[in-house]
Chains A and B, each alone.
Chain A
Amino acid sequence: GAGVSQSPSNKVTEKGKDVELRCDPISGHTALYWYRQSLGQGLEFLIYFQGNSAPDKSGLPSDRFSAERTGGSVSTLTIQRTQQEDSAVYLCASSPGQWSYGYTFGSGTRLTVV
């Protein structure tokens, strides 16, 4: 696609439910990043993929968080048993290659846990 697409754009869920957030990167982009941004805060790194593998999962805040990427394209971030502190905007970015031409961000998914 022309840009990085994230869905849904907004998600309200009840505490304890599982949610899936989707990121569709620019076609051909091999590197994909997930970030979390709480209200008024900076970007918090979660995980990055090179192709389908995730060399760095160090930012995932707990074992309730997981992510996968299939076919070197779409990535899904799953949060199990959501908590109120998970409420944030989740941003995805992609790049043609880990070392190269800059990064393009999606518009994000705003997650609200009630």
Chain B
Amino acid sequence: KQEVTQIPAALSVPEGENLVLNCSFTDSAIYNLQWFRQDPGKGLTSLLLIQSSQREQTSGRLNASLDKSSGRSTLYIAASQPGDSATYLCADFNYGGSQGNLIFGKGTKLSVKP
């Protein structure tokens, strides 16, 4: 059974810190992995999409990496700001056949304190 696990479930940091969110997946037949942000009461906003042939993607202060061999992806946030406070979810797409081939983690709730 495919699973996506995100650790930690919640994280609180002071403003300005660099931080790493972790995502692990069980199926190495991953096709791509996507990181999303969800603000309270809102839908999901796509942050970064990494294809299986790529090692990382960058957008502004965000950097996402993908290591298929170890089944892990990380989202690095540099110089965190209070506006980064949200829940961050990762999702992997593979050909395992369940749930439309798209499996979500339960998310990491990030709080950045001013």
Tell me, yes or no, whether A binds B: yes
Q: Does B105 contact A (CB under 8 A)?
A: yes
Given the known interface contacts A42-B104, A48-B99, A102-B32, the answer about A93 and B41 at a Cβ–Cβ threshold of 8 Å is: no
Contact of A108 with B98 in the complex, beta carbons under 8 Å: no
- Residues of B near A105 (CB, < 8 A) are 36, 43-46
Given the known interface contacts A33-B102, A42-B104, A59-B99, the answer about A110 and B41 at a Cβ–Cβ threshold of 8 Å is: yes
Q: Does A107 contact B (CB under 8 A)?
A: yes
Q: Does A103 contact B (CB under 8 A)?
A: yes
A113 → chain B, closest Cβ, in Å? 18
B97 → chain A, closest Cβ, in Å? 8
Cα distance A89–B105 when bound, in Å? 17
Q: Does A31 contact B (CB under 8 A)?
A: yes
A63 → chain B, closest Cβ, in Å? 19
Q: Does B66 contact A (CB under 8 A)?
A: no
Cα distance A107–B41 when bound, in Å? 9
- Residues of A near B45 (CB, < 8 A) are 105
Chain B binding surface, main DSSP class:
strand
Q: How many residues of B contact A (CB 8 A)?
A: 24
Q: Does A91 contact B (CB under 8 A)?
A: yes
Cα distance A80–B98 when bound, in Å? 25
Say which residue of A41, A98, A102 sits within 8 Å of B100 (CB atoms).
A98
- Residues of B near A48 (CB, < 8 A) are 99-100, 102
Contact of B93 with A101 in the complex, beta carbons under 8 Å: no
Cα distance A98–B104 when bound, in Å? 15
Specify the chain A residue showing the minimal Cβ separation from B87. A42
Specify the chain A residue showing the minimal Cβ separation from B107. A42
Known: A43-B104, A56-B99, A101-B49. 10 other contacts (CB 8 A): A41-B106, A42-B89, A48-B100, A91-B43, A91-B44, A99-B93, A99-B95, A103-B91, A105-B43, A108-B42
